[in-house]
Amino acid sequence: MRVKLAAGNWKMNGLSADLAEIDALAAAHPDPRSEVLICPPATLVAAMAARTDGTAIAVGGQSCHPAASGAHTGDVSAAMLADAGATYVIVGHSERRADHGESDDDVRAQARAALEAGLKVIVCVGETEAQRDASNTLDIISGQLAGSVPDLVTGESLVIAYEPVWAIGTGRTPTTDQIGEVHDFIRARLEARFGTGVGRSVRILYGGSVKPGNATEIFAVSNVDGALVGGASLKASDFGGIIAALDAA
């Protein structure tokens, strides 16, 4: 059985005062059936890790540099995230690919660095609206999986997040049939590349305007093992509703 995962990506949001939301989340969900993860901005990783010690909430980073150290002003290494208390890191998010020009090769290097530092890695894949309209979705996903996921992974160390770019922060959500088609395709590609053992144990998250109101429907879709949540993870009440829906799935 794959343990469900509710992962919150705070993106460039959050100050020290916002850690009160984590206290509220931990109090409301002291023993969730699903795994719960929050990825705050790098400035809050250490404080959040200290705050969540002894709770069911894990902490992760939002990106990492592929190098372990060096002259890379403004960047954060995977080892630094681990040292601050993170256990996960997101790589390849569409906003990183778009805003920072990160390629599949860059994402693979970041993922490899994260694994070497002992972090679990969430590799994001997803198509733009133009690619969806051109019926290129599965080709895009296939290429991103092949290029972004390193070879030496396990079902424990790797999570895939499918985030249709056109649904992130827009309030638009693909149909359940569209979500299921992509998640089933990702599962098949993972099994073909890594074998049924690893391929069936990797968790596949859906991301893209997940809210308490649509979470139950999304979590009922084939091969959806949880969610990577953006804006709805900033408030304990909203993210708590998503966790509850996942626990009940």
> What pLDDT sits at residue 142?
98
Catalytic residue, candidates 35, 102, 163, 183: 163
Between 166 and 228, the higher pLDDT residue = 228
Rounded to an integer, the average pLDDT of 131-160 is 96
Specify the number of domains making up the chain: 1
CA dist 218 to 49, 96, 123, 202, Å?
Answer: 29, 25, 20, 18
The pLDDT confidence band at residue 118, using thresholds 50, 70 and 90, is very high
CATH number at residue 140: 3.20.20.70
The DSSP code sequence of 86-137 is --EEEE--HHHHHHS---HHHHHHHHHHHHHTT-EEEEEE---HHHHHTT-H
Residue 240 has pLDDT above 80, yes or no: yes
Beta-bridge partner residues of 65: 77
Calculate what percentage of the chain has a pLDDT beyond 90: 95
Rounded to an integer, the average pLDDT of 96-115 is 98
Residue 70 has pLDDT above 80, yes or no: yes
Query: pLDDT of 175-224, one tens digit each?
Result: 999 999 999 999 999 999 999 999 999 999 999 889 999 999 999 999 99
> What pLDDT sits at residue 39?
98
Record the pTM: 0.97
Rounded to an integer, the average pLDDT of 122-129 is 96
Is 129 among the catalytic positions? no
d(CA 183, CA 4): 15
Residue 1 has pLDDT above 90, yes or no: no
User: Residue 77: is it exposed, middle or buried by C-beta count within 10 angstroms (0-12/13-18/19+)?
Assistant: buried
| Domain coverage including residue 60 | 5-248
d(CA 220, CA 232): 19
Calculate what percentage of the chain has a pLDDT beyond 70: 100
Catalytic residue, candidates 93, 95, 102, 127: 93
Beta-bridge partner residues of 61: 89
End-to-end CA distance of the chain: 13
Residue 148 has pLDDT above 90, yes or no: yes
Is 163 among the catalytic positions? yes
